[in-house]
Structure formats: C-alpha cells, structure tokens
Chains A and B, each alone.
Chain A
Amino acid sequence: GAVVSQHPSRVICKSGTSVKIECRSLDFQATTMFWYRQFPKKSLMLMATSNEGSKATYEQGVEKDKFLINHASLTLSTLTVTSAHPEDSSFYICSASPLPGAYEQYFGPGTRLTVT
C-alpha cells in the first residue's frame, strides 16, 4: 500500500517550453502533497506544499509563477515548469500524505528533467 507514482520518469525539453509533471497517489487519498527538488550530490529541497483544493504554499526563494502547482483532486498533483531554462534541469520528487501536514510522507520515484 501507499504507492505514489510520477509521470514522466524522464523528460527532455527545449529552453523556453513548459513541462508538466504528474504525481499520483495510487491507493490512498492524499490531503497534502509536497514537491521537492534534488540537485546532484545535494539534499532534497522542499519547493512547495499543496493541499487539495487550495493554493500551494511555496518555500522562500521558489518562484511560484515559474513552478505552477495544482492539486485538483485527492489523488493528483501537477507541477508545471514554465518557460524552462537549463538551470531548471534537476530531479523533481513528489510525496503525498494521507493526513493534513507532513505526518507521514510517501514518496514518488522522481522525474529527471533536462532542459537543452
């Protein structure tokens, strides 16, 4: 149980285009979802927290107009990287929690984004 999927697992896009990454909780309802970014040899950095049906809460330094997060249902959250640039290339990981807040988080396998 408690499986979280991400799609796609790997994406390459051209500079200036937008890319959407999906995060789904497959066997539970996720009241809260989290988006992380991981740089090579660096820790996971929390980008934003989203609750179903409300606006995401972004961490300091994360551009909300660049990283659009939608949590439209209890099983799906999407992260859209708008007007992507090479510096946005990274590993993006989502997690989902069946309870409000971050009590227990179940992680997706991650999406590797490469912007050329």
Chain B
Amino acid sequence: GNSVTQMEGPVTLSEEAFLTINCTYTATGYPSLFWYVQYPGEGLQLLLKATKADDKGSNKGFEATYRKETTSFHLEKGSVQVSDSAVYFCALRDLEYGNKLVFGAGTILRVKS
C-alpha cells in the first residue's frame, strides 16, 4: 500500500540556518505530494504541493521537488526563522486509492534565536 516516511525529529536549528526535512514515499500509482505545517494550537495548513515528477512546490521560502527516481519530496529552506517552529507533515494523495491523503509521522522543527 501507499506510505510516507519522514525523518524523525525534533530538528533543532539556529535562526538563519539551512533546513532539510527528508521525505520518501511508496505508491503504486502517480501520487500528488504535499507538505503541511501545523503551528502550535492550530490546524494543519497546506504549505506546498507538487502534482507530477520534477515539479517544484514553493511557498514562504520553503521548497520541495518531486523526485520520482528517488521517490522523495524533501523540504528545504535556506534560512529559517523562529516563526518557522512547527510540526511539518509530508503527505501523498493517490487517485488509485480513492484520492485519500496518506501522512508521514510529522517532524517537529524548533528554531532558536
């Protein structure tokens, strides 16, 4: 079946450091890939998405590229801020499985000033 694996956290960085959160997936079809962010006390928000191989999703300085050859969708940001502290979820949606979202376990990011 479909699954998403992302790096365990927490990830602790200093402000302005480079961020990478790894995400790999297993899917039988051609899924769309997503990154969601959950700030403390709030619901999950869509951060970025990519719908086909080699697409790059980007938003708020975050980027992720859909790599079919490595089945990966790693999240990156060149310079993190304290306000980026949150939980980040990688997810996929596969039309062959009823278009449902399948989530990774989430990675806690803590940015220190």
Contact = CB atoms under 8 A, between A and B. Distances in A.
Q: Do A and B come from one complex?
A: yes
Interface of A: 4, 6, 34, 41-44, 46, 49, 93, 95, 101-110
Contacts of A43: 4, 89, 102-106
A106 B43 CA distance: 8
Given A42-B105, A109-B42, A102 B93 contact: yes
A34 to B, nearest CB: 8
A3 B106 CA distance: 22
Given A43-B106, A104-B46, 14 more contacts: A6-B43, A43-B89, A43-B102, A43-B105, A44-B101, A46-B100, A46-B101, A49-B100, A93-B43, A93-B44, A102-B93, A107-B36, A107-B44, A110-B43
Contact of A41 (B38, B99, B102, B105): B105
Contacts of A4: 43
Nearest to A110: B43
Contact of B45 (A6, A44, A107): A107
Interface string B1-18: 000100010000000000
Given A43-B4, A43-B106, A44-B89, A107 B43 contact: yes
A105 B101 contact: yes
B105 A102 contact: no
Nearest to A109: B43
B43 A108 contact: yes
Interface string B92-112: 010000111111111000000
A70 to B, nearest CB: 21
B61 interface: no
Contacts of A49: 100
A111 to B, nearest CB: 11
Contacts of A46: 100-102
A106 B46 CA distance: 8
Which of A41, A42, A107, A108: most chain B Cβ within 10 A?
A107
26 contacts: A4-B43, A6-B43, A41-B105, A41-B106, A42-B105, A43-B89, A43-B104, A44-B89, A44-B101, A46-B101, A49-B100, A93-B43, A101-B99, A102-B100, A102-B101, A104-B46, A105-B101, A106-B43, A107-B36, A107-B38, A107-B43, A107-B44, A107-B45, A108-B43, A109-B42, A109-B43
